[in-house]
Amino acid sequence: MIPGKERGHSNGIETRRRRPAPPLAKVRLVVLLSFFAGLSQTLLAATPGVEGRWGPRIKFTTVPISAAVLPNGKLLIFSSWDRFDFTSGTGARDKTYSDLYDPATGRVTEFRVTQNKHDMFCPGTALLEDGRLLVNGGGPHVTTTSIYDFNRNQWVRRASMSRRRWYNASTTLPGGGVFTLGGIPDDGVGELWTAGAGWSVLAGAPVTPMTVDAGTNMPRSGEHPKVLVAPNGKLFAAGPTPNMQWYDSAGGGSVQFAGRRGDDIYAQNNVTVMFDVGKIVTAGGSPRYDAAAGAHPPASANAYVIDINSAVSTRKIASMQHDRSYANGVILPDGRVLVVGGNGTGKAFSDADAVFVPEMFNPDTETWTPMARQATPRTYQFNGGIVAGWPGVLGWRWPMWELRRQPRRRGDLQSALSFPGAASRHSRRAYRRRL
């Protein structure tokens, strides 16, 4: 037995329970920060209500590579076949380490998911309308699909995809299906998941329009397409390419050019958040995914507002105060967007030129305000979101998906999990049906 943990079994999953963490201070922003090597306790105080405040860190048993806020208010995180590694080491890559965090008690419980034979490292993720979490693909290059049921605290394997995908994007549709696109290695077409039927290939929905203008500077341009559900029920791909696209999952799928994102660069790893119905803010990014330190182009501070409620319109707004790639954007209940972390180099697995000062985007003034400084760099593999009953939770994750409830108006947002990039969102009509 590991000190401070209890062993047990639940639903065929090996569990370990960590002693409750100290009570969290009820501050303006509670932020969860994690590292491959573990966590420590640090509190940075700032002027409450003005700059925000960073709360105590929460110690997980594994790296929170992926995360989802569940309908019961708990936070589910999972990593890979190893707690702290995904490439080297020994052991079969047929399992995933996971933690369940309860903010009401501060308790972290570990699960080792073995029954699905699924390494869920950097997969597609989509929160279904009944609150279950669908996870498809992962490392390295798998077709596997698993679903987590929060009511039963149980992972179940479902029908596999036709294509192997890793670093793909998955988006929940208003009708309850899931659209997935991109990833590596991918032959360039999307797939549609429907309950009871599994996956079907959408030959008319290629990823090519998202990658054709990447050039030699973007060898991984098929990863992390920023795909959001528009008010008209179609899918809007906001990037990373500045050539935006409309996707439709009906029939065999289709894609249509939607205009350019102003004068923006090819902004991989940027922040893309729908802050109001049909209104998107994008910020930062880098024209290259990764390269040797000396060859990597700098990140951007560009920011744009895209309105997709009728004809697509794009406006360049005030830039962020810091160049950022790998940053995270979290929508707050009042419609503002908090952008945290990132670095100015755009290089993965590097804290060089890390940005320590978060910025708050105000949609009314379309301006950026600096917030309380972080103590530790938050760069590659970083995530964030809002947990019901708490102002905010942020963690360590590759910034890829946003899973959140779509507000009908500002102030309606009850819970959110934000991963900059492709998103799982519902149209206003679908959200009303859920309520």
Can you read off the two tokens belonging to residue 325? 């790639």
- Closest by alpha carbon to 386, among 422, 414, 411? 414
**pLDDT at residue 387 in the model:** 57
Within 8 A by CB and 6+ apart from 369, the residues are 359, 360, 362
Helix (H, G, I), strand (E, B) or coil at 211: coil
The Cα–Cα gap between 125 and 133 comes to: 7
Can you read off the two tokens belonging to residue 256? 């249509």
> 210: which DSSP letter?
G
Can you read off the two tokens belonging to residue 322? 């810091």
- Interior/surface letters 409-419, b for 16+ CB within 10 angstroms, e for the rest: ebeebebbbbb
Cis peptide bond prior to 48, omega within 30° of 0: no
The answer to whether 396 touches 382, Cβ cutoff 8 Å, is yes
Can you read off the two tokens belonging to residue 81? 């076949």
The answer to whether 172 touches 229, Cβ cutoff 8 Å, is yes
**pLDDT at residue 179 in the model:** 98
- How many CA atoms within 13 Å lie on the side-chain side of 426? 24
> 324: which DSSP letter?
B
Give me the tens of pLDDT residue by residue for the chain, a chain 435 residues long: 232 333 333 344 555 554 443 333 322 233 333 322 223 233 344 455 557 777 777 888 988 888 898 999 999 999 988 888 887 656 678 899 999 999 899 999 999 999 999 999 999 999 999 999 999 999 878 999 999 999 999 999 999 999 999 999 999 999 999 999 998 876 689 999 999 999 999 999 999 898 877 665 566 778 888 999 999 999 999 999 899 999 999 999 999 999 999 999 889 899 999 999 999 999 999 887 776 656 778 899 999 999 999 899 999 999 999 999 999 898 888 899 999 999 998 888 888 889 999 999 999 999 999 998 887 778 876 666 665 554 444 443 332 222 222 333 333 322 232 222 222 232 223 222 222
Task: List beta partners, residue 404.
Answer: 416
Q: What are phi and psi of 243, to 5 degrees?
A: -85, 95
List helix spans (H) across 233-325. none
The count of other CB atoms within 10 Å of the CB of residue 265 is 20
Provide the whole-model pTM: 0.80
The Cα–Cα gap between 127 and 192 comes to: 15
Domains by residue range for the chain, with CATH: 5-434 (2.130.10.80)
The Cα–Cα gap between 308 and 312 comes to: 5
**Cα-based distances in Å from 157 to 116, 212, 286:** 5, 35, 36
The Cα–Cα gap between 209 and 186 comes to: 14
